[in-house]
Amino acid sequence: MSLVFAGICSHAPGITGRANMAEPAQRDALYEAFGRMRDQLVASRPDALIVVAAEHFANFFMNNMPSFAVGMADRYHGPIEDPAWLGIERTAIPGDATLSRQLIDRIMQTVDVSYAEEWKLDHGIMVPLHFLTPDYKLPIVPMNINCQGPPLPPLHRAWAFGEALRSAADSVSQRVALIGTGGISHWPATPDSGRINESWDRDLLDRWARNDKAALLSYTDADIYRQAGQGGFEIRTFICVAGAARGRGHLRHYMPIPIFAVGCTVAVMDVAA
Amino acid sequence: MSLYQLQKFLFDLNRDSAVQHEFRDNARHLLERYDLTAEERDALSAGDIGLIYVLGANGQLLMHFAAFLGMAWPDYIRAMREGVRRHGLPRAGLYAMTTAMDEKVAGV
């Protein structure tokens, strides 16, 4: 059929795990923005949801680190973290191995990906699903871009991965939705956790909303690290979505919430023909 | 320094409940399976989050070890700062500290 929905959102574990430490009005406004994103996702009547995430050593480690990986299972489990720490109960999430295989075959025409028949979902996928598919009924296809540390896939390859998955989504009979999850500037899990470079974030989001490929791909990782911290490497997931959807983006919510460690973001993007 | 091995242990612990049980039963014995320096081994078996941070452990691995040890989030942040106070800035890795010692950017 085609890609029927595209969006991006934050996935920080504090959003659910440290919910009670945030200023309630800020937290509730974020949750409401996630709720509106859920409504728009449901209205697109998807048969499956691709989640492009930036996982944090839940499945992939430095012994054998793929730049790009795609899940290929009928069932996934998460969260891998302590449920009490994350504030999300353990559950099974449906996948669709046949659909995954079709997507992978097509993606591999232009981008080499690893496939994974086992995948323990971490907060990078579980936090968005907690808000967007809270009954865990919609089958997902998890995808991962290594954003943890160098050697990192170049930004232009994250864009190419987006183009490849768009071509793949357009080639299957199902209605496919897509979200990219990650932080913008942030220094998570360090003593700096809570530091947020709002002006850098807003500039990135502006480039993303304009779907300005050249501007999105003009960052260097050295600049990202200096201005946006090691967490900033996760902009690869947002770039991937822009490369897939190719339309204009619409920022629905942005609010720095230091105890959640990120500028909390919810945005959707038109899917260009 | 064998940061890869130190992080491999944290990866294994975070993923595998059998490793978690073994750590609680006999951490020293478990850690013999990893090619660690004495400083790394001592820091892990003592649960010295501050020193492990300074040794360069990736925070995405370390924060779960802290949670496994029962540390609440503010205590985890405090332990890393205390590690820097005792041992200096992180010696390796990406998870730098750029804020001042008493600068609580998230109020903790």
Tens of pLDDT along B23-39?
999 999 999 999 999 99
* CATH number of the domain encompassing residue B80: 1.10.700.10
Q: What domains are defined for chain A?
A: 2-175+190-258 (3.40.830.10)
What residues of A are in contact with residue B8 (Cβ under 8 Å)?
61-63
Is the distance from CB of B41 to CB of B75 less than 8 angstroms?
no
Half-sphere exposure of B16 (CA within 13 A, CB side): 10
Given a cut of 90, whether residue B56 has pLDDT beyond it is: yes
Rounded to the nearest 5 percent, the helix, strand and coil shares of chain A are 40, 25, 35
Residue B93 placed within a domain: no
CB A19 within 8 Å of CB A252 = no
**Which residues, listed in sequence order, are joined to residue A264 by a DSSP beta bridge?**
A255
Output the pLDDT for position B103.
87
- Indicate whether B92 belongs to any domain: no
Domain count, chain B: 1
Question: How far off is chain A from B15, nearest CA to CA, in Å?
Answer: 7
DSSP character string of A178-207: EEEE--SS--TTSTTTT---HHHHHHHHHH
At B1, is the pLDDT very low, low, confident or very high (cuts 50, 70, 90)?
Answer: low
Q: Are strands A114-116 and A68-71 parallel, antiparallel or unpaired?
A: parallel
Task: Say if B48 falls within a structural domain.
Answer: yes
Chain B interface mutation, best of A11, A193, A195, A198, highest count of B Cβ atoms under 10 Å: A193
Q: What is the pLDDT of residue A264?
A: 98
What does the pLDDT look like over B70-79, one tens digit per residue? 999 999 999 9
Q: In chain A, which stretches have pLDDT less than 50?
A: none
Nearest residue in chain A measured CA to CA from B85: A191
Query: Which chain B residues are Cβ-neighbours of A62 within 8 angstroms?
Result: 4, 7-8
Does the beta-carbon distance from B107 to A194 stay under 8 Å?
yes
B48: containing domain: 3-87
Residues in chain A closer than 8 A to B73 (CB atoms): 14, 17-18, 21
A-proximal residues of B, 67-86, CB under 8 Å: 67-68, 73, 77, 80-81, 84
Distance from CA of A185 to the nearest CA of B (A): 14
- In-domain check, residue B108: no
CB atoms under 10 Å from CB of A105, counted, come to 11
pLDDT exceeds cutoff 90 at B104: no
pLDDT of amino acid A40:
98
User: Using CA atoms, how far apart are residues A205 and A156, in angstroms rounded to an integer?
Assistant: 17
pLDDT at A1: 64
**Whether B108 contacts chain A with CB within 8 A:** yes
- Say what the pLDDT of residue A243 is: 98
Judge whether B64 is closer than 8 Å to chain A, CB to CB.
Answer: yes
Express as a percent the part of chain B with pLDDT over 90: 88
Tell me whether residue B80 is in a domain.
yes
Residue at B20 is within a domain = yes
Residue B102 — pLDDT band, cuts 50, 70, 90? confident
For B43-53, how does the pLDDT look when each residue is reduced to its tens digit (9 = 90+)?
999 999 999 99
A189 CB near a chain B CB, below 8 Å? yes
Residue A234, min C-alpha distance to chain B (Å): 13
Can you tell me the mean pLDDT for B49-71? 97
Q: Tell me the torsion sign for CA atoms A81, A85, A90, A93.
A: negative
CA dist A110 and B1 (Å) reads 40
Residue B39 lies in a domain: yes
Look up the pTM and report it.
Answer: 0.97
Determine the Cα–Cα distance for residues A150 and A165; give it in Å rounded to an integer.
23
Query: How far does chain A reach from its first CA to its final CA, in angstroms?
Result: 12
Inside any domain, residue B11? yes
Is A77's Cβ below 8 Å from some Cβ in B? no
**A148 contacts in B (CB within 8 Å)?**
58, 60
Average pLDDT over chain B, rounded to whole? 95
